[in-house]
Chain A
Amino acid sequence: MADEQNSVSSILEDKTYKYGFTTNVESETFAKGLTEEVIRAISMKKNEPAFMLDFRLRAFEKWKTMKPPEWPNVHYPPIDFQNISYYSAPKQKKVLDSLDEVDPEVLRTFEKLGIPLDEQKKLANVAVDAVFDSVSVATTHKKKLMEVGIIFCSISEALQEYPELVEEYLGTVVPVGDNFYAALNSAVFTDGSFVYIPPDTISPMEISTYFRINTEETGQFERTLIICAENSYVSYLEGCTAPQFDTNQLHAAVVELVTLENAEIKYSTVQNWYAGDKETGKGGIYNFVTKRGKCQGNNSKISWTQVETGSAITWKYPSCLLLGDNTTGEFYSVALTNGHMQADTGTKMIHIGKNTRSSIISKGISADYSSNSYRGQVKVGKNATNARNYSQCDSLLVGDKCSAHTFPYIETANSSVQVEHEAATSKISEDQLFYFESRGISRENAIEAVISGFCKEVFKQLPMEFAVEAQKLLTLKLEDSVG
C-alpha cells in the first residue's frame, strides 16, 4: 500500500501534492501518459468512493486490450494516447473586461446568430452585472429544480452526495468495455453532468448544460448520466450554437440515459466545435462520443435530437435500447459538414421488448470538401413481437467536391416486425438560389429557406429558440460554400 501511495504521488506534480488535494492552483495538471497509477491518482484526487475506482480500473483493463475503431468512414493520423494529460483541475475561464477583447470572428458569428448583447457577454465570459451572472442564474435554476426533488449537479458532486444512485446506474447503459473510446472515458473521466428526476415529476423547465459549465472549460472526457424515474419527464439541452474552441483536440464523451416505467427523456444537442482551418482542416476537434439511452421500464420513451455543425471529425451514434414493452426510441439528426470536416454519425435502435417503436430521421448536409456518412443499425430481437421501425435518411449536397454516404444495417429475428427505410439525395444548386433572387429574395434568405425546408422534421423537435438559432447557424455556415 505504501508503495502504491508513493507511485501515485509521483504522478502528481510535486508542488500541488505538497499542498494537498483540495488546492485551487490554476495549472494543476498531471504529467502526460496513462497508467494504472494515473487512474488511482485521479480517483484519489477526486476523493471518490471505492466502487468508482474499481469501475475505472475495470475500464482501463478492457481499454488496454482494445483498438480504436477502424470501421468509421473517417481518416486521421493515429492518436498517441500516452501523449495526453489525463487530469487537469477545472480551470476558471479567463474573464475579459469587455467585448472588445473577444475575437472579432466570434463576435461576427454572435451577431449573425442574433444573440443578444448580454448573452454574448455571457458566452464570451465577459464580466457582467451580478444579476445576469451565469453563476447566479445557475443557482436559481438549481434551487427551482430542487424544490420538486430534481437533482442537477456535476457528476463529481453526485459521487460525493448521491453515490448510491451513481453506483446503481453508471455503466449500465454503456458498459466499461463497450468500445475503445467509451472504455477510455470510463477510466479517466473527470467531470460531466448528473440528473435525477424522481417518480411522478415533470421537470418544470428545460435543463441545460449551459448553466453548469459556463464558468469552466469543458472537460476532454465528459461523462453524463440522466435517470428519469417512473411517470416522469425531462427535456435536456446540451451545447450551444456559439462557436466553441478548446485546446484539447480529442474529445471522448459518454452519455447514459435511463428511463423507468412511463418515463420520457428528450435529449437535444447543438454542437459547434471548432472544425479546423477551412482550407487545410488542421487543428479541429475530434469528437468521438458514445451516447446511449436505455428504455428500461415499460411504456417509456427516449428521444435524441442533434444538430451537429462542428468538429473536424465526428463519430457519434446516439442510440436506444428498447428493453421494456411498448417503449419508443427516436433519433432526429441534422449533421452539417463543410471545409474538410468528416462526420460518421447515426444511431442504433435495439428492439428487445414487445411492441417497441423506433423512428430515425437523419438529414446530412455536405459542402466544400467534406464527407458526411449516415450509419444506422436497426436490430430486432426474437421476443420483440410487433416491433416497428421507420428510417428516413436524406442527404443534401452543396457543390460537387463533397460526399454523402448511407450505411443502413437491418437485422431482425422476429417475423412480425415491420421495418421501413427511405433515403433521398438532393442538391442545393446555384440555379435554385438564382430562382429565389430573381423573385427579389436575398441569397441569405434563400439558403435559409432551403435548409430549413430540408431540416424541417428535425428542427420542429427542438425547443423554439434553439430551433431558430440552429437554423441561423446552418445558414451562416453554408453562406460561403454555396456558389
Chain B
Amino acid sequence: MLEIKDLHAGFDGNEIIKGISLSVKKGEIHAVMGPNGSGKSTMAKILSGHPAYEAMGGEILFNGENLLEMDAEQRSLAGIFMGFQYPVEVPGVNNAEFLRMAHNARRVKAGEEEMDPLDFDDLLSEKMNMLGMEKKYKERNLNDGFSGGEKKKNEILQMAILEPKLAILDETDSGLDIDALRVVSEGVNKLRNENNALILITHYQRLLDYIKPDFVHVLSKGKIVKSGGKGLALELESQGYDWVTTEN
C-alpha cells in the first residue's frame, strides 16, 4: 500500500530525514518510535503534504501513485488520513458541517451525489455511537475551545467518517489522560480491518499497550536504526532510546 524508498526530507533546506525506507501493506499496523528530534514529526509532515516541508530525495508510492506529487487535498481523497498532533481550532465552523463537507468531497470524487444534512446526521450519529462520543461534538465548532483530549477524539471521529485506507496518527497519545487514551485507542481499534493500514508515530510506548503494532521501527537522527516486532517497543520502554541510538 505505502512504499517509502530512501526518503530524504526537511524544511528550509535543512535535511532532517536522511534516507528512510518503509513498506506498509494493508491490514498492518506500524509504529514509528524515536526520541525528540529524531525526525518523527518531519516524517508525519511530509506524509501529510504540509507545504512547508519538502522531499529532497527518494520517493513515496501510495498504491503505485507518486505521493510526493499530490497535494494534501489529493492525498486525502486518495485515502490517506493524518491524525494531527495539534489539531487546529476553527471558530465559527460547525463540527458536523465540517465533517459533512469532508465526507461530501469524497462522494463528489467518487461521482456520487452530495449527502444532505439530514442523512449525514444519521451517519454521524451512528459513528458517534460506535465511538461512544457525546452529542456536543455535533454542536460545537471545529476544535474550538476543545481540550487536548477532545481534539484527539475529534480526530478519530473524522477518521471514522472518512474511512481512510491508510491512517497516520501523529503523537495521538500526547496530552491524553488515561481515560481519553483508552477511548481514543478503542476507537482506532474499532476502525481497523484487513483492508486498511495504520502508522502510529509516537514517543512513548504506552499507546502500544492499547493498539498492538505488527512492526516497530526506531527512528534516530533521521534514519530507521532498528526494526522489529512488538517486543521491540517493550525493550525500548525498559532500556530507553539510548540503547538503540548509541549502538550505531
Q: Given B72, B91, B97, B109, which contacts A438 in the complex, CB threshold below 8 Å?
A: B72
Answer yes or no: A453 CB below 8 A from chain B CBs: yes
Answer yes or no: B175 CB below 8 A from chain A CBs: no
Answer yes or no: A140 CB below 8 A from chain B CBs: no
B71 lies within 8 A of A437 (CB) = yes
Docked CA distance A178–B89 (Å) = 45
Docked CA distance A323–B93 (Å) = 38
Contacts of A429 in B (CB 8 A): 88
A449 lies within 8 A of B76 (CB) = no
Contacts of B109 in A (CB 8 A): 440
Known contacts A438-B76, A441-B105, A445-B105; 20 additional CB pairs below 8 A are A429-B88, A430-B51, A432-B88, A434-B72, A435-B84, A437-B71, A438-B75, A439-B98, A439-B102, A439-B158, A440-B77, A440-B105, A441-B102, A442-B105, A443-B73, A449-B90, A449-B97, A450-B90, A450-B93, A453-B141
Q: Mark A413-439, 1 if CB is under 8 A from B, else 0.
A: 000000000000010011110111111
Contacts of A278 in B (CB 8 A): none
A437 lies within 8 A of B73 (CB) = yes
Answer yes or no: B50 CB below 8 A from chain A CBs: yes
B90 lies within 8 A of A440 (CB) = no
A435 lies within 8 A of B90 (CB) = yes
Which residue from chain B places its CB closest to the CB of A453 in the assembled complex? B92
Answer yes or no: A211 CB below 8 A from chain B CBs: no
Q: Mark B89-132, 1 if CB is under 8 A from A, else 0.
A: 01111100110011001100100000000000000000000000
Docked CA distance A453–B73 (Å) = 21
Contacts of A453 in B (CB 8 A): 90-94, 141
Could you show 21 A-B contacts with beta carbons less than 8 Å apart? A430-B51, A432-B90, A434-B50, A434-B72, A435-B87, A435-B90, A436-B98, A437-B49, A437-B72, A438-B49, A438-B72, A438-B82, A439-B76, A439-B101, A440-B77, A440-B106, A440-B162, A441-B102, A453-B93, A453-B94, A456-B92
B73 lies within 8 A of A440 (CB) = yes
Docked CA distance A4–B37 (Å) = 88
Quote the shortest CB–CB distance from A468 to chain B (angstroms).
16
Closest 9 CB pairs of A and B: A453-B92, A440-B76, A439-B102, A437-B72, A440-B105, A453-B93, A438-B72, A435-B88, A437-B73
Contacts of A430 in B (CB 8 A): 51
Which residue from chain A places its CB closest to the CB of B74 in the assembled complex? A440
Q: Given A437, A438, A443, A449, which contacts B93 in the complex, CB threshold below 8 Å?
A: A449
Docked CA distance A452–B91 (Å) = 11
Give the A interface residue count (CB, 8 A).
Answer: 22
| Count of inter-chain pairs, beta carbons less than 8 A | 71
Interface residues of B (CB under 8 A from A): 48-51, 71-73, 75-77, 82, 84, 87-88, 90-94, 97-98, 101-102, 105-106, 109, 141, 158, 162
Which residue from chain A places its CB closest to the CB of B76 in the assembled complex? A440
Which residue from chain A places its CB closest to the CB of B86 in the assembled complex? A431
Quote the shortest CB–CB distance from A170 to chain B (angstroms).
42
Contacts of B158 in A (CB 8 A): 439
Looking at A430, A432, A439, which has the most chain B CB atoms within 10 Å of its CB? A439
Answer yes or no: A454 CB below 8 A from chain B CBs: yes
B93 lies within 8 A of A442 (CB) = no
Which residue from chain B places its CB closest to the CB of A435 in the assembled complex? B88
Which residue from chain B places its CB closest to the CB of A440 in the assembled complex? B76
Docked CA distance A442–B102 (Å) = 9
Contacts of A432 in B (CB 8 A): 88, 90
B101 lies within 8 A of A445 (CB) = yes
Docked CA distance A442–B74 (Å) = 9
Given contacts A449-B97, A449-B98, A453-B141, contact A437 B90 (CB under 8 A): no
A434 lies within 8 A of B51 (CB) = yes
Contacts of A454 in B (CB 8 A): 91-92
Contacts of B98 in A (CB 8 A): 436, 439, 449
Which residue from chain B places its CB closest to the CB of A438 in the assembled complex? B72
Docked CA distance A435–B51 (Å) = 12
Docked CA distance A435–B71 (Å) = 12
Q: Mark A352-379, 1 if CB is under 8 A from B, else 0.
A: 0000000000000000000000000000
Contacts of B48 in A (CB 8 A): 438
Docked CA distance A454–B142 (Å) = 13
- A330-389 with Cβ < 8 A to chain B: none
A439 lies within 8 A of B162 (CB) = yes
Which residue from chain A places its CB closest to the CB of B80 in the assembled complex? A438
Docked CA distance A429–B71 (Å) = 18
Docked CA distance A125–B33 (Å) = 66
Quote the shortest CB–CB distance from A304 to chain B (angstroms).
22
Quote the shortest CB–CB distance from B145 to chain A (angstroms).
12
Which residue from chain A places its CB closest to the CB of B101 in the assembled complex? A441
Contacts of B162 in A (CB 8 A): 439-440
Contacts of B72 in A (CB 8 A): 434, 437-438
